[in-house]
Structure 1
């Protein structure tokens, strides 16, 4: 059952029925006890009335035979027909029956007070009174008493049934009213267009629903921020792609119109433009793949130093072409828990960024060390570095610092910052000893490294 309304109503009606059943049981028991006390009081009243106004045997007279009953003759159905009447008996002080209102004598003589006796296969409620040299006994069958009580039950339990019905209707109304804000939210959200992500109202909500409303508003705010970020990314990407593509088109036109002497230079410039566009597209794809939900990540323990060695080897040819000394400094067996593809993207962007800014004949060092419960990855270059005031801004998308002459799109450090955040790490940009930039990435160490 997935309906919240049905669950609430089911639990409430279940509790109501259980409470009503318990109340009915208690009411039945109290009413039965009161009815019995009332009927016992009637037995006593009849016994005292018989003592005051009934028959009295003559003193010293022989005990007469039991007088004829005042009721109908005894037949097989006589006692059953007499169930609606009290049975009266008079005994002498010596215990001899002198009068009975039923044929057959009635229940046997009992001790003074209230008793239960069995006669003719039926249980009788008997009150016995010994007074004025005689014993008076008044009795009624338990079956008759139960039948009389059964006639009263509908009047006792009918109000309880009406109460249950009224409570059920009130509960339905209360549940519908309590869930009305959720229905209003649903109608409001269904009417909205795709870009309408403003917060829902929570002022009129019950106290229990305010956290839900706040959580929904936070979600809407995050979705709005994400869509805004995506729109900004598309706008920036279109702007950044426009420049290299325009340059490619221009160089292609120049190459077509140039003579043999200048065509080679134009084609070289065309290659560089294509390379810049290709690099930008590749970084845009990397940025897109880092968005939540784009792909399923598989964090697992891996050696960051081995991964760094593979990236250094992959960039070694490019470093040699530019005359840059690229190498892996002495490193530890640095175990981290992360997604291998994302960490490879991080290393690729750090090394690529360092090679772009390092001068010809410069140096780029990569190192992975384990310090306590953290793994520190460091990529140093002896390029121009980044002024301290611009280091925070340098990790934003499409930010190119003033005075930078190195080709690039301004996405490298932004991609690195995204990967570090997803792995619960920290990114620090610092000045390298001797000049240049030192990029430090700290990640939680995996259990194998401790």
Structure 2
């Protein structure tokens, strides 16, 4: 698991160490150049001092007394060596016997003498040349002694910055920790929004998105609770009736059992129908089952659905018809074939159940203004305008007595509404031209795709 805190600490620590290294190298280089400049200035000052005080020499060559053997420099060679030469190269004076490089030209030089590197400065006046020299080894030793003291503040600065960076990252991420604790301590019933006051600007969008999710979860959980309560209530009635009818069946004489068994079968059919629709409604919920959208022909789907209900319509003496354009109109949409077929089945079955014997039911399909417009109309009793919106709710049966006689469950239109919403469409209830109910559905057409071939579903009634 990748940690933001660890990632930030790694990046900040790496940046700090790289910066400290670069600054150390630059400081070392600048300090070394400055140190050399100061020491070279010291050589110049020593040479000037020797010139001002050189009044005792008579021009005789310098004779070294008590000098160290050749190749074994005196232990004082680590100090400055000052020399006085004539212009023709005769050594008149040396502060350390047998120590010091040979005469150089005027100016600063780095020369090698007896295996050692020397920093040399020479200046002339009148007929004499004053030369001051020091080994670079002693100069580096002095510089390194100084560098140790320069390094301590830098190390202290790195440690302090590292501590402050760690504290700053912890403080910056504290709102995320508080948000995690806030969400982690909540239960299934605590889905209210998280306050955004006082939160950093970067955390507010995340909190708002989380609040939106909590709101949706609250709506879904409340809807699920209502659905379970309504389903339990609706199932309780037919199951109680079945139980009572089964108890009465045992007590009835043989001559009356046939009628009682018919009533028991009707109760079982109603319960099975309700359970089937409950399962279908659960399957169509987009939060449970994602819809598989593909290009499909709504004409072929409608033809299949109408053909499937021709037998039920004939048994009830109902004229079921399909009205479509004579020429192929390519009414193609992006949709889920199973969900749309469930939509058509529920609308046609509802129309057949509630229209009554001798009625008319018509399914029509047209393409209008970039939409597929499908209507399922019947000549039944219809729904009053003031009750049409309520008819789309679950378990709502406007005519309880008629609903019981046709085994209605109040879920057909609710299932249709769920499918239409998932397809970004619109469902409207109105009055048919025969005075019954007309369900009008508008779905967006898919003009860029071609419809796949649909299997032959047999003849359609027109």
TM-score, with structure 1 as normaliser: 0.87
State the partner residue of 1:381.
Answer: 378
Q: How many residues align?
A: 443
Identify if the C-alpha distance between structure 1 residues 372 and 154 changes in structure 2 by more than 3 Å, giving closer, same or farther.
Answer: farther
Find the aligned partners of 1:99 and 1:76 in 2 and give their Cα distance. Answer: 20
String of CA shifts for 1:94-130, please: whole Å, max 9, x gaps: 45544444637605513x3333334445443332222
Displacement of 1:276 in angstroms is 1.6
Does the CA contact (< 8 Å) of 2:286 and 2:422 recur in 1?
A: no
Partner SS for 1:208? coil
Q: Secondary structure at the match of 1:78?
A: coil
Could you tell me whether the CA contact under 8 Å between 1:87 and 1:102 is conserved in 2?
no
Equivalent residues in 2 for 1:70-89, closer than 5 Å: 73-78=68-73, 81=75, 84-89=78-83
Query: Which shows bigger deviation, 313-322 or 90-99?
Result: 90-99
Residue 103, structure 1, aligned to residue 98, structure 2:
yes
1:313 equivalent among 291, 307, 310: 307
Question: Does structure 1 residue 68 correspond to structure 2 residue 64?
Answer: yes
Deviation at 1:152, TM superposition (A): 1.0
Offset, 1:293: 4.9
Q: 1:340 aligns to what?
A: 337
Q: 1:284 to 1:185 in 2, by over 3 A?
A: same
User: Structure 2 residue aligned with 1:363, among 356, 360, 383?
Assistant: 360
1:125 paired residue among 119, 123, 128 = 119
Change over 3 Å in CA distance of 1:142–1:344 after alignment to 2: farther
**TM-superposed deviation, 1:254:** 4.6
Corresponding residue of 1:350: 347
Query: For the residues of structure 1 that align with 2:111 and 2:361, how far apart are their CA atoms?
Result: 112
Match of 2:212 among 195, 218, 225: 218
The structural deviation recorded for 1:368 is: 4.0
Whole-angstrom CA distance in 1 between matches of 2:76 and 2:390: 106
Instruction: Return the offset for 1:430.
Output: 3.3
- Report the Cα distance in structure 2 between the residues aligned to 1:343 and 1:18, rounded to whole angstroms: 64
State the alpha-carbon separation in 1 of the partners of residues 239 and 272 from structure 2: 10
Q: Distance in 1 between matches of 2:370 and 2:90?
A: 106
Are positions 1:25 and 2:20 aligned together? Answer: no
1:301 aligns with 2:295: yes
Once structures 1 and 2 are overlaid, which stretch shifts more, 294-303 or 150-159? 294-303
Distance in 2, Cα, partners of 1:75 & 1:351: 123
Give me the whole-angstrom Cα distance separating, in 1, the residues matched to 2:130 and 2:167: 62
CA shift in 2, pair 1:82/1:267, >3 Å = same
The SS at the match of 1:195 is coil
Aligned to 1:448: 449
Q: Is residue 350–residue 416 contact of structure 1 (8 Å, CA) maintained in 2?
A: yes
| CA shift for structure 1 position 279 | 1.2
Q: Could you tell me how far apart the structure 2 residues matched to 1:113 and 1:402 are? A: 119
Contact 1:426-1:443 at 8 Å conserved across structures: no
Q: Partners of 2:69 and 2:362 in 1: how far apart?
A: 124
CA RMSD in angstroms, aligned pairs only: 3.0
- What does residue 237 of structure 2 align with? 243
Check the 8 A contact 1:375/1:444 in 2, yes or no. yes
How big is each residue's C-alpha offset from its partner over 1:22-75, in whole Å with a ceiling of 9 and x where there is no partner?
3223322332232122112111111101111136764xx6xx5454288x5255
Between the aligned partners of 2:122 and 2:431, the Cα distance in structure 1 is 114
Question: Counterparts in 2 of 1:173-322, with a 5 A limit?
Answer: 173-259=167-253, 262-295=256-289, 297-322=291-316
Comparing 144-153 with 126-135, greater Cα deviation is found at 126-135
The separation in 1 between residues aligned to 2:47 and 2:425, in whole angstroms, is 98
Q: What is the aligned partner in structure 2 of residue 150 from structure 1?
A: 144
Alpha carbons of 1:146 and 1:391: their partners in 2 closer, same or farther (altered >3 Å)? farther
Instruction: Supply the distance in 2 between the matched residues of 1:130 and 1:433 (Cα, whole angstroms).
Output: 127
Q: Is the 8 A contact 1:337 1:446 kept in 2?
A: no
Give per-residue Cα distances to partners, 1:139-169, cap 9 Å, x unaligned.
Answer: 2333332222111112111111112112222
Structure with more contact order per residue of length (Cα contacts < 8 Å, sep ≥ 6): 2
CA deviation profile, 1:297-353 (whole Å, cap 9, x unmatched): 433222222222222222221111112222332253333223322222222222222
TM-score, with structure 2 as normaliser:
0.85
Contiguous gaps of at least 5 residues in structure 1 = none
